[in-house]
Amino acid sequence: MLDCSRRLGLAMNTVKRYARAATPERIQRVPKYRTGMVGSYRDHLRARREQQLGVGATALLGEIRALGHNGSQNLFVRYLTRGGTSTSIRTSRHVGPLDCC
């Protein structure tokens, strides 16, 4: 197995998993995509972005918190900056606590 691992350029655990598999179908893994905490509010965020182009991240976070979102502000900003809504949303460099807003 070590020789196979080196020749194929695969990790040893991968070669072991392939060797244990009874059929080729057992080797394939279907990726599991989850919605995530912020992803379930994606439609609302996109609709708000279309209504008002200049809406900021702080206002959007306040809106989805009113709808029941209980995730952190950091999680929300990461979702936006990684293209979770597939449109750019203005985020500020310094993001403070939002509980007062």
| 70-94 pLDDT, tens digit each | 888 888 888 888 766 554 444 444 4
Residue ranges covered by each domain of the chain = 1-32, 39-81
* Predicted pLDDT at 21: 86
**Letter string b/e over residues 45-70, b meaning 16 or more CB atoms within 10 A of that residue's CB:** beebbeeeeeeebbebbeebbeeebe
pTM value is: 0.50
Instruction: Grade residue 33 by pLDDT with cuts at 50, 70 and 90.
Output: low
The whole-number average pLDDT for the span 6-11 is 92
* Predicted pLDDT at 71: 85
Does residue 63 or residue 81 have the better pLDDT? 63
